[in-house]
Structure 1
Amino acid sequence: MPETYTLRHKAVAEFLGTFSIVFFGAGAVAIDLLTAPVGAGAGVVFVNNGLGLGTLGWVGIALAFLGAVAIPIALLGRVSGQHINPAVTIALLITGRIGLRSSLVYIVAQLAGGIGAGIVFVGIRGEDAVNIGVMGATAPFPGVSAFQAVLAEGVITFFLMLTIMAFAVDDRTPDNAAGPAIGLMVAIGILTTGNVSGASFNPARTIGPYVTNTLFGGPNLWEDVWIYLLGPIVGAVAGAAVYTWVVLDPVEPATPAAGESAAEEAKPE
């Protein structure tokens, strides 16, 4: 059946997928802070003391993100490819897998989805979602330098992009494997670097909560936003380029026909 999805359909799919990441994923971070012992998760203490103090902990947060990524890919991947991440879209643009106009529409939809999710979450949970839960915003943890945070974001996004290329771009991989594989990579990244950079790997996942905090009087973390642009974008572009070069570009030599092979063997030295 030929594809009938317009760019408008794809934009809505990207909006919904990124909405899911911020609402369910970043929302889980906010819930962890909201359910922490009194005073343990308030406002800027998130930046100073980190997470894992509430009912969810790091494993619960990782599982929330796994589902928030995997389910939209399963539901809407056939519509837009479910980039749900500006860094992924930029990487696919640079490697020639999406056009400039489409990529701009995708990125606007992704950012709108992240911001919309934050606003809806505050509407449901009240302003404590930003005053205490900081809408699950990302920031480097105590003792972590900007370089370390950028490196953590870049390395995990590199492997995330390799996973996306292998399971969502490479047409030799079964379509139904993409959601679980990509979701698991995000979850692993959260478990390994969550207490370094806050584990974003996605500019829309960071910008959505940042805008929500700005709108509702939460902490101002904008000075860190460049970390969550530079690290993920460089990591994603590198991942897409490496997978293309190592896996997709090489051309296997054609297998000679049986007669040609026999003729070659019969040639005198």
Structure 2
Amino acid sequence: MTTVSRTSEQRISPVFLGIAAVTAVTGWAVWTGFGSSPGLAIFLFVTSAWVISLCLHEYAHARTALHGGDITVGAKGYLSLNPLAYTHALLSIVLPVLFVIMGGIGLPGGAVFIERGRIRGRWRHSLISAAGPLTNVAFAVVCTAPFWLDALDGVPAAFRYALAFLALLQVTAAILNFLPVPGLDGYGVIEPWLSHKARRQMEPLAPFGLLLVFAVLWIPEVNAAFFGAVDAVLSGLGISDLDTYCGLNLYRFWQEGSNVCVTP
């Protein structure tokens, strides 16, 4: 009975499979140019692929925690890739999607509850926190593979732009998540190595860490430095500013002039 129970806890959720199906169908639509305009297809493709990356981000936290000693993550539904099983679906799914739609930035998620008392060893704690944003890094590498492998021959322009914009989201999410700010995964990586006094002092800041980061990003100099770092990473992966601009432009298909990058 225990084996059956554990198997069911790790079975992929129909919700996730449905999102994956939407990604596949809309990806095909973008590739083939199905429809009169690629905008809607790109919007659905990038959004659903972004949600998949959020699910994998949280799954990575949970899977690493399971191997680290927290055997409760399965019963909580974290291993099923079901976005509805997260402690705060609003923070993990809804807000990140809204930020993509409004600002074209990959907002860090992070709403799986890990019972840290079951984890032994500082390295395990750090690895659990790092596993999520490392998934975004891996996702970015996959999205940009055609660019840095110089394998774009035959890739439709619309699909190229969609991949570039999706890669932008992954890079921004990874960089933001790795910031050593309380409440973000970057702080979770270093927290086990801090003194007890330092951890106690930082603890009250955790609920406001993400808000603090976005407040600081409003400072023009900080904003320029952040997106300069994002552009440098993307450039190193073979993606130009034109690729990401056109990706964002086509993604916002409802805006006037959103078809400026459409090629015959």
TM over 0.5: no
Structure 2 length-normalised TM:
0.30
Greater relative contact order (CA < 8 Å, ≥ 6 in sequence): 1
Give the structure with higher Rg (CA): 1
Structure 1 length-normalised TM:
0.30
